[in-house]
Chains A and B, each alone.
Chain A
Amino acid sequence: MRDNLRIGLTLMIICLVAAGALGVTYVFTKGQIDKQIKIKQDAANIQALPVAKIFKQVNPAQIKKKGIKLVNEQDKIFQGLNGDSNAGYTFVVHPRGYGGIMEVAVGISAEGKVKAVVIILNRETPGLGDQAFKPNFIKQFIGSSPKDKVEVKKDIDAVSGATISSKGLTKGVRTALDYYKKIND
């Protein structure tokens, strides 16, 4: 009994100290990590919608007002501005692939055409699933608009060996187009 108590207490003290140390590190590095995430996000936005100069995140209240229900809570919408005029939107969507959730930025111009699809984060199998991120597949999305189907087997050809990743990516683009339609309604 005394032994069990000693074992439990030792483990508890060690875990508490470890948790404290990690908490302190987290607090000290959080600002810097957020900064890096923002830099990455900006880079993805510029790649997805090169015509825009600045990007402004559409805040959750506005999204709600437009009647958009986010498919994934982490989805983000940025409005691209060129001076004062609207240059289109980038949508950061999180479709499910083979290896888990992917993070994809879809740039849609003011004319309602998909400009670029940028993979920010993926866990697809290297050499197999990630074949779906090759330009040959992604170029099928370029120029599609909200009224297009954008669905595998309909107007998009999946990459063989990467069917699930292809479907996931296609679904992500479809989500972005749906968001775009709601925003312009």
Chain B
Amino acid sequence: MNGWPRNDVIARSEATWRSLLKTMAQTEQKQGIFSLAYKDFKAGILMENPLLVLAVGLCSALAVSTRFENAIFMGIAATFVLLCSNTLISLIRKQVPDQIRIPIFIVIIASFVTIVDLVMKGYFIAAYERLGVWIPLIVVNCIILGRAEAFAYKNTITRSIADGLGMGAGFTLVLLIMGGIRELFGTGKIVLFDKTILSLGSAFQPAQIFILFPGAFIVFGFLIGFLNIIKERTSNG
């Protein structure tokens, strides 16, 4: 190890890490844990929205947002997994050895996804069959592993719960908007639990492109644009 100041680098990075944790603890004390948690929750919905701003977990979001009802079930399922994994990982973060944190995250996330999978198979079979492979694929959804690694592993349990709820709500909100727009313009009406809740009338000619994959990208692009306009306005004002 001559001429290779590895221990030195590690020691220094550990010192930075400790001081970072210390400042974080200090801000928590100063601002109060609940106002911080509220900020984390709010960030997930708009300013750090997982889909529109962080742009993670897009694959499943674009694929399942063909129907409003799909969006509800996918949103609830993902939020449940996110909330549970964030809570548990934050709870055991001091016991988890750094080298094997990723396998442990995956085991925890996969277990919660399997629970969701079994419950949906038993009680919401119609929705389960429509969502198909996307429910088991929540395991590899970047939002969940991303929040585990970037947030829950470093923060207290209260803030991790707030982050999970906020990110889940942000994910669900965007899914609902996309699902609503795509179903409404793609089929002419929105059907929820076999009841038509909104219809454009029989004179409306459905534009099938909204249901197909290009429609997902078009709607998603417009949503990002709108969010950017909102952000610009608020930062200017």
Contact = CB atoms under 8 A, between A and B. Distances in A.
Contacts of B100: 7, 10-11
Contacts of A183: none
Given A21-B115, A29-B121, A14 B97 contact: no
Nearest to B101: A10
In order of increasing CB-CB distance, the 7 nearest A-B pairs are A32-B122, A18-B111, A29-B122, A29-B118, A33-B122, A36-B125, A25-B115
Interface of B: 92, 95-97, 99-100, 103-104, 107-108, 110-111, 114-115, 118-119, 121-123, 125
A21 B111 CA distance: 8
29 contacts: A6-B97, A7-B97, A7-B99, A10-B96, A10-B97, A10-B100, A10-B104, A11-B103, A11-B104, A11-B107, A14-B92, A14-B104, A14-B108, A18-B107, A18-B108, A18-B110, A21-B111, A22-B114, A22-B115, A25-B114, A25-B118, A25-B119, A29-B121, A29-B122, A32-B123, A33-B122, A35-B122, A36-B122, A36-B125
A120 B183 CA distance: 26
Given A18-B108, A25-B115, 8 more contacts: A3-B97, A7-B99, A14-B108, A22-B114, A25-B114, A29-B118, A29-B122, A36-B121
A36 B118 CA distance: 12
B108 A10 contact: no
Nearest to A17: B111
Interface of A: 3, 6-7, 10-11, 14-15, 18, 21-22, 25-26, 29, 32-33, 35-36, 40
A40 B128 CA distance: 13
B121 A33 contact: yes
Contacts of B97: 3, 6-7, 10
Contacts of B125: 36, 40
B119 A29 contact: yes
A32 B123 CA distance: 7
A40 B129 CA distance: 12
Contacts of A33: 118, 121-122
B235 to A, nearest CB: 43
B138 to A, nearest CB: 15
Nearest to B126: A36
A60 to B, nearest CB: 26
Contacts of B110: 18
A22 B117 CA distance: 11
Nearest to B96: A10
A14 B103 CA distance: 10
B134 to A, nearest CB: 14
A29 B24 CA distance: 43
A134 B23 CA distance: 64
B143 to A, nearest CB: 20
Contacts of B114: 22, 25
A11 B99 CA distance: 11
A33 B128 CA distance: 12
B130 to A, nearest CB: 13
B144 to A, nearest CB: 15
A25 B114 CA distance: 9
B58 to A, nearest CB: 20
Contacts of A26: 118
A162 B122 CA distance: 33
A123 to B, nearest CB: 9
Nearest to B133: A123
Contacts of A22: 111, 114-115
Nearest to A15: B107
Nearest to B124: A36
Nearest to A33: B122
A35 B108 CA distance: 28
A25 B96 CA distance: 25
Contacts of A7: 97, 99-100
A88 B108 CA distance: 49
A1 B111 CA distance: 29
